[in-house]
Structure 1
Amino acid sequence: MVDEQERRPDTPGQENGAMGVFAMVGRQLKPLRERAGLSQPEFGALVGYGPDHISAMERGVRTPRPDFLVKADPVLNANGMLIAVIPEVEDAMRRARTRHPEWYRGQAEMEKEAVELHFYATHAVPGLLQTEAHARAVFAKYRPFLSEETIEKRVADRLSRQQVFEHWPPPIVSYVLEETILDRPLGGPRAHADQLRRLLTIGDRQNVEIQVMPTRVEEHPNLDGAFNLLVPKGHEQVAYLEVQGHPQLIITREDVREIADRYGIMRAMALTPEKTRALIAEKMEKL
């Protein structure tokens, strides 16, 4: 028996046909790329996108942004075909609005507009840092089990959030990751190696700092769990928590200050970004 919630469109994009536009463009991209004799990594390098993003766009689960289509058209010798669909894509983007669950849309919108984003993670790689393979491994082992369709939707949602790194001016972003995250090979050794490599890639951005909290530290200012801190454009800093799927947005100034204070202490105790890069590289060599 199919649950009523499964029969309903998960997002405005599905309900109003926007996802159909993205799928149509994806169906054009793959044969054009193959005709050009390019692999996904090769094509991605030419247009400034990672292979995970190319794969997601070809499957119609990631928005093919207009600037991407402008770059891709000459690379794939599409003779203006990809440029011609830009008006339809822009209209679909407006109709889609957001692809996140209703309960998450408020925080997701703040994340897109934030001028600062700070994350403390205890058990898992934060969504903005995940590769497609890592995200799929996370959702594939979710309990209760998810359908393949739901897994694909959630992976697409997660990848779509990563467009925040493409904004200009970019937000200031920092992470404190517990070392155990680097040691858990979700998806297998190859997927884990790619995930660690992505941490190095994102951490190399001028506006991003990634730090690891070593497991060996004898004191810790925050044993209460993971959290995010955001500074929405034009607003004061807020905190966001999620425990067992139950989200909580904290806006009381004193409560936010206490969480921010703990985060500051953790950043002081954690490895520097440079030492973090060295540690990640060391762990990659052992895989």
Structure 2
Amino acid sequence: MTLPSVETQQRELGTMISAARKRLGLTQAEFGRRVGYTQANISKLENAHLGLQREQLDAFIKALKVSDAEAAVMRRLNASASTSGIWSGRRLVATPPWFRDILAAEQEADTVRSWTGERISGQLQCESYMLTLFNTAGRRDIDDAVYERGQRARVFARHPKREYEFLLSESALLQLTRTRKLDPYILLDQVKHMLSLIDAHPGVSIRFVPFGELPHLPLDLTVFGFAQGADDFAYGETPQGVQRSTAETLRSSYLDRWTALSGAALSREDSRTLLEHAAREINDTRLPAGAAGFPALP
């Protein structure tokens, strides 16, 4: 049996919102005022030209006074529609289609646990660092790529109560402090960005696995946990591409690997100290004498 397309499911959600609004006798403008949307955006939603985050849909459901059964259908349709990569009314164009459901999961998951080994996760990258990476790779769609990767990072501010755990090897940090390929000001900006993330968002944890704790570096992996509306899942990055977990491999492989990595990682406090020392090393050894850099440590 062929499943309905994402576009079909999004149109169905828009039709349900429109019907519920009309049952209440509200115009688009009146309903928009109740939920903090303009009339134009309500029209876009009802005509499947704009997506909704899960929390936004919950506010709509409450305002529309729909039944529990209708609410469940709306949540299912919205979860499916989110995989089309529609955030803030702008479609993802720089992200490969096969990766868009992963990015949608980043936006919707209640917990995200990510191991990226020898590189900095896209969610942790500051704008100057990601711009440099895209330019170095010869990307032509830089504006869209930066916008889409920036959306990944903005989830921390939009959902402060969610939990995000990032594990990296100590060598990933060493590459930032020692590489001669990138401008030291950009490297310092990236380290300071990670420090600011953990200071500004209590739900964000960044920890490092020290040298010697692992006989080899496992392939990158991410585990998503959902409180409702979707099943937990994980994905790994292999030489053959992205591999998504099954219910069995989630338990037997991904969660076991995450537990081992987490057990080998430094504490949050020790990891923060490591970031501070990385910033100091870039500041003292790579920047010109007298340049404005990292403030003195207490």
TM-score, with structure 2 as normaliser = 0.59
What is the correspondence of 1:77-88 to structure 2 with a 5 Å cutoff? none
Cα contact 2:114–2:222 (8 A) shared by 1: yes
Give the corresponding residue for 2:262. 267
Give the direction of change, closer, same or farther, for the CA distance of 1:146–1:168 in structure 2 (3 Å limit): closer
- Structure with greater Cα Rg: 2
> Post-superposition, which runs of at least 4 consecutive aligned residues in structure 1 deviate over 3 A?
85-98, 254-257
Instruction: Give how far 1:93 is off.
Output: 5.1
Write out per-residue CA displacement over residues 114-147 of structure 1, whole angstroms, 9 at most, x where no aligned residue: 00000101121101110011111222222xx322
Write out per-residue CA displacement over residues 237-271 of structure 1, whole angstroms, 9 at most, x where no aligned residue: 21112345822221333444421112112112111
Matched, 1:212 2:208: yes
Give the corresponding residue for 2:156. 165
Give the corresponding residue for 1:146. 139
Instruction: Give how far 1:218 is off.
Output: 4.5
Q: Within 1, Cα distance between the matches of 2:269 and 2:173?
A: 16
Corresponding residue SS for 1:124? coil
Aligned residue identity for 2:139: L
Q: Within 2, Cα distance between the matches of 1:193 and 1:245?
A: 33
Q: Within 2, Cα distance between the matches of 1:93 and 1:166?
A: 21
Q: Does 198-207 or 164-173 show the bigger shift?
A: 164-173
Matched, 1:247 2:242: yes
Corresponding residue SS for 1:286? helix
Give the direction of change, closer, same or farther, for the CA distance of 1:109–1:219 in structure 2 (3 Å limit): closer
Q: Which of 107, 110, 122 is 1:115 aligned to?
A: 110
Corresponding residue SS for 1:187? coil
In structure 1, the gaps of 5 or more residues are 1-11, 13-84
Give the direction of change, closer, same or farther, for the CA distance of 1:256–1:164 in structure 2 (3 Å limit): farther
Give the corresponding residue for 1:62. none
Identity of aligned residues (%): 22
Give the corresponding residue for 1:174. 165
Give the direction of change, closer, same or farther, for the CA distance of 1:218–1:228 in structure 2 (3 Å limit): closer
Instruction: Give how far 1:196 is off.
Output: 0.6
Give the corresponding residue for 1:183. 174
Q: What's the RMSD between the two structures over aligned residues? A: 2.6
Cα contact 2:160–2:202 (8 A) shared by 1: no
Aligned residue identity for 1:187: L
Q: Which of 88, 98, 101 is 1:103 aligned to?
A: 98
Write out per-residue CA displacement over residues 32-57 of structure 1, whole angstroms, 9 at most, x where no aligned residue: xxxxxxxxxxxxxxxxxxxxxxxxxx
Q: Which of 271, 275, 279 is 1:276 aligned to?
A: 271
Cα contact 1:227–1:239 (8 A) shared by 2: yes
Matched, 1:194 2:185: no
Write out per-residue CA displacement over residues 170-201 of structure 1, whole angstroms, 9 at most, x where no aligned residue: 32110111111112236321111111111111
